[in-house]
Structure 1
Amino acid sequence: FFFVSSMPIWSKGGDATDSLVHEFTVGDDYLFDREIASYDILGSIAHATMLGECGLISAEDQSTLVKGLQTLHKEYDQKVWTVEETDEDVHSKVEGLLIERLGEPGKRLHTGRSRNDQVMTAIRLWQKNKLIDVALATLEAANALCEQAQRYEFHPLPGYTHMQRGMPSSVGQFFGAHATALMENTVMLHASYSLADHCPLGSGAGYGVGLPLNRERTSGLLGFEGAVRIAMADSNSRGKIESCMLDALSAVINDLSRFAADMVFFTTSECQFFTIASGYTTGSSIMPQKKNWDLFELMRGRTSRFLGLRTGLSAVNIGLVSGYNRDVQDTKAIAIEGVKIIEGCLAIMPKAVRSLEPVRANIEAALTPDLYATDEAYKLVREQGMPFRDAYCQVGRNIAQLTTPDHDATVKDRTHTGSTGNLQLDSLLYRIGWERTQWVEKQKALHAAWDRLLA
């Protein structure tokens, strides 16, 4: 790395911060600024372009700034420089590098903006990009589950209530249900994306600025599609929009946790309903025979960690008065950490799912005659016209007389929509593909806007 320590962007000279104060106020925030540095530079390119077009800086300074920022963006990707602990933040770092390299034009970049709207813009760009990534990864996991549902569509499996075997289900229904849950979470992801799709750049410290900025122009340059809003609303939205994002992601990770809990249960020695490919389990340091399915245990644990972050993020904004409060600086780290957790879970999910295979012998052993008690009651209803309550009581008094039917035939015999014989998996797979197309289109449009800024 090539290091350049920068003065705080607010420094007027002779006002250095006490080292303990710097350590406390900056903390590890510089590490999280590394996550948003490239997005911050994109915001600055759009801002400099707009300033030049509005005549607030000269065309020459605009061109110099844009080229300088494009170089910094490329160098950052190549790890030529980074944000250091001695830098207060990425904004001070970038401006310091520009002034060092370009001189006077670098001092004009901050015209008409505050660090408040600057960092919000970088975070919104990061959010949009990450929401797209998470949505596509979620749909990939849903697709893997749906493929397994199709592969084992009519394979029998016990259905549980109160963690006790209750009635027959199928492996297809099990995988298909989890695929549906993940796919439907895109509703919340779309909503979160829409909330983040408003450009705060130009709102300043929350009250606008006394210059004729063209906020619509910077918004368009950066690929935002939502309307430019009241400046104070932009300022007050910091933390709220990030919290909404974690709310949407929590729906995804909670569904991953439920699937993980199912797999932990179904693969106990007492069940042994599934096997998984070599390389997806770990061993014990003391028990040579152990094969631990702990990737799913950790998925549950990571969900609890995520919930803690989500709660903490929501709590930061409680009781804050309108306008900027530095409390919200910490929302950045919480949001970034939350996204990293869910990205890790989603990265492993499709591969793990595709390596699962049901163990028919163990499953059939668990499909004892009593699981078919409700089916026997329905048989009396259908064949003898008996009222269900009477059939229910008659079967209930004679559970010991039940026999085991054809498992596969029972699965296929349930033909109403959504039951084991009519899962409509082709339709589900189509919906997953359609959703994926929507998110890919968002990604293409967003990245095309950024490519134009860097061209």
Structure 2
Amino acid sequence: MSKSSSSSESRAPDPGLLWQKPGVETDARIMRFLAGDDVVLDREFFLHDIEASRAHVEGLARIGVVTSGESDAIARELDRLAEDFSSGAFVLDAQYEDGHSAIEARLTARLGEAGRKVHAGRSRNDQILVATRLWLKARLSALHALCIDVAKVCLERAVADVLPMPGYTHLQRAVVSSTAMWYAGYAESFIDNAQRALDTRAWIDTNPLGTAAGYGVNLALDREHTTRALGFARMQVSPIYAQLSRGKFEMAALDALGTVLLDLRRLAWDLSLFTTAEFGFVHLPSEYTTGSSIMPNKRNPDVVELMRASYASVAAGRTEIEQLLSLPSGYQRDLQFSKGGLCHGFTRGMAALELLPDLLARMQWNAAAMRAAIDPAMYATDVAIEAAVAGVPFRDAYKQAAAAADEAGRGRTPEQSLAARTSPGAAADLCLDELRVRWEKLKNT
């Protein structure tokens, strides 16, 4: 396989292929196809792979497969490898078949025989499983924190910005609404999204290390130790299920992210409409817009549009993994391709979400434009309900209000309409205290 020009300090001697048999020739084209972009994608998981290797070696020492001295030496070298990788002194590239072989090659180069003992009792199958679960636990924790941040901004602005605006159904003006109602809606949505991120993390929080290639090994591995050392909530018991779960837990994580991105897509659609000259309801911070390459008069909401588009990457990643899972039990190499969709979906989705709290905190509403867009017919529902309260059957009240819709708003103001909307959660009773209680509970989880 090709070698890059990284400094020799980052290099171990050529490790070859872990599975290579004597006398069997390798074809460079086939090797390129087999490797694909696996070693590049493994950079995402590498620190977690190192962490799991440390726990595995500690477990081997507990059952006498390596000595305590060897375990300590391996742990020190793993710490140095993590530092070198983080600083850029060690480069994970095409010299290696994947991240797993890179770890073993480095340990062997530095420690000799002790390094060659590290793979006893494990397979690259449970290595990637445990590294992926650790990686996803971290990503889902970050997703939870971002949802909490978005909900916080929305709750704060639901109090600070109580401005009348049109409420729409079918993109047609419907009833009087408010910016506070808009923020409250997204606040509750992202509170639910934060809960789902936690629930998905809890479901994924199980340790597959020690299941090897899917059938266990003839060693009394201390799997309870590795479970505790790696911070997992429980042990994944069945080696066969460890392999059956591949794809399932990645899709579950992408589903949790996708739920958030669907809300972001709708929010971005709102802002895309509200920033047009035809609406003119919202002004975005200048950093969130770009100019046209040909039209000097233009400022485009490109950031919002790419936020809207980001769900596509998450959905594509999930679909790619789902399409790989038409497989029998046991490991199949098809599953190598699951890394790409998972990494791409989370990278793009999280990048979009990271921008959202600041955007929501700094965008500005155009109160005059929103008030001007509230036409008299938008009070017709108020008129119909008031008549129903007075004893008129609602269907009769509905017909009367429809017949005189253009006159419905005579003498009425948006503030009066909002103040009369007293059903729980509506404009006059947003139940923000209840939402804050839920937010506080999740924030501290």
Structures share fold, TM-score greater than 0.5: yes
Is it true that 1:378 corresponds to 2:404 in the alignment?
no
Look up the SS of the partner of 1:420 in the other structure. coil
Residue in structure 2 matched with residue 312 of structure 1 by the alignment: 320
Residue in structure 2 matched with residue 363 of structure 1 by the alignment: 370
Is it true that 1:24 corresponds to 2:33 in the alignment?
yes
Is it true that 1:336 corresponds to 2:353 in the alignment?
no
Residue in structure 1 matched with residue 3 of structure 2 by the alignment: none
Is it true that 1:156 corresponds to 2:164 in the alignment?
yes
Q: How does 1:64-75 map to 2 (within 5 A)?
A: 64-75=73-84
User: What's the RMSD between the two structures over aligned residues?
Assistant: 1.5
Residue in structure 2 matched with residue 445 of structure 1 by the alignment: none
Structure 2 CA distance for aligned equivalents of residues 62 and 428 of structure 1? 50
Look up the SS of the partner of 1:47 in the other structure. helix
Structure 2 CA distance for aligned equivalents of residues 380 and 369 of structure 1? 17
Once the 2 structures are TM-superposed, how far is the Cα of residue 427 of structure 1 from its aligned partner? 2.7
Q: Aligned AA for 1:254?
A: L
Structure 2 CA distance for aligned equivalents of residues 58 and 14 of structure 1? 34
Q: Aligned AA for 2:176?
A: P
Contact 1:215 1:228 in 2 (8 A): no
Size of the aligned set, in residue pairs, is: 435
Q: Aligned AA for 1:136?
A: A
Residue in structure 1 matched with residue 405 of structure 2 by the alignment: 399
Once the 2 structures are TM-superposed, how far is the Cα of residue 13 of structure 1 from its aligned partner? 4.7
User: Could you list the runs of 5+ residues in structure 2 that have no partner in the other structure?
Assistant: 1-5
Larger relative contact order (CA 8 Å, sep ≥ 6): 1
Once the 2 structures are TM-superposed, how far is the Cα of residue 15 of structure 1 from its aligned partner? 4.1
Contact 1:198 1:229 in 2 (8 A): no
Contact 2:121 2:210 in 1 (8 A): yes
Contact 2:175 2:381 in 1 (8 A): yes
Once the 2 structures are TM-superposed, how far is the Cα of residue 404 of structure 1 from its aligned partner? 5.3
User: Could you report, residue by residue, the CA deviation over 1:339-383 in whole angstroms, capped at 9, with x for unpaired residues?
Assistant: 11111111110111111121111111110000000101122223x
Is it true that 1:83 corresponds to 2:82 in the alignment?
no
Residue in structure 1 matched with residue 415 of structure 2 by the alignment: 408
Contact 1:368 1:404 in 2 (8 A): no
Structure 2 CA distance for aligned equivalents of residues 3 and 100 of structure 1? 9
Q: Aligned AA for 1:400?
A: D
Once the 2 structures are TM-superposed, how far is the Cα of residue 90 of structure 1 from its aligned partner? 0.7
Q: How does 1:116-265 map to 2 (within 5 A)?
A: 116-152=125-161, 154-265=162-273
- The alignment's TM-score, normalised by the length of structure 1, stands at 0.92
Structure 1 CA distance for aligned equivalents of residues 339 and 359 of structure 2? 31
Residue in structure 2 matched with residue 446 of structure 1 by the alignment: none
Contact 2:126 2:213 in 1 (8 A): yes
Look up the SS of the partner of 1:427 in the other structure. helix
Look up the SS of the partner of 2:291 in the other structure. coil
Q: Aligned AA for 2:274?
A: F
Look up the SS of the partner of 2:246 in the other structure. coil
User: Could you report, residue by residue, the CA deviation over 1:23-71 in whole angstroms, capped at 9, with x for unpaired residues?
Assistant: 1011111111111111001000000001001112222222221222122
- Alpha-carbon distance change, 303 to 15 in structure 1, aligned in 2, over 3 angstroms: same
Residue in structure 2 matched with residue 451 of structure 1 by the alignment: none
User: Could you list the runs of 5+ residues in structure 1 that have no partner in the other structure?
Assistant: 439-455
Contact 2:195 2:442 in 1 (8 A): no
Once the 2 structures are TM-superposed, how far is the Cα of residue 431 of structure 1 from its aligned partner? 2.0
Residue in structure 2 matched with residue 432 of structure 1 by the alignment: 439
Structure 1 CA distance for aligned equivalents of residues 391 and 244 of structure 2? 65
Structure 1 CA distance for aligned equivalents of residues 423 and 108 of structure 2? 70
- Alpha-carbon distance change, 13 to 68 in structure 1, aligned in 2, over 3 angstroms: farther
Once the 2 structures are TM-superposed, how far is the Cα of residue 235 of structure 1 from its aligned partner? 1.3
Which of 302, 311, 318 is the aligned partner of 2:310? 302
Structure 1 CA distance for aligned equivalents of residues 142 and 227 of structure 2? 21
User: Could you report, residue by residue, the CA deviation over 1:312-331 in whole angstroms, capped at 9, with x for unpaired residues?
Assistant: 121111x2010000111111
- The alignment's TM-score, normalised by the length of structure 2, stands at 0.95
Once the 2 structures are TM-superposed, how far is the Cα of residue 12 of structure 1 from its aligned partner? 4.6
User: Could you report, residue by residue, the CA deviation over 1:193-212 in whole angstroms, capped at 9, with x for unpaired residues?
Assistant: 12221111110110100111
Look up the SS of the partner of 1:279 in the other structure. helix
Is it true that 1:267 corresponds to 2:288 in the alignment?
no
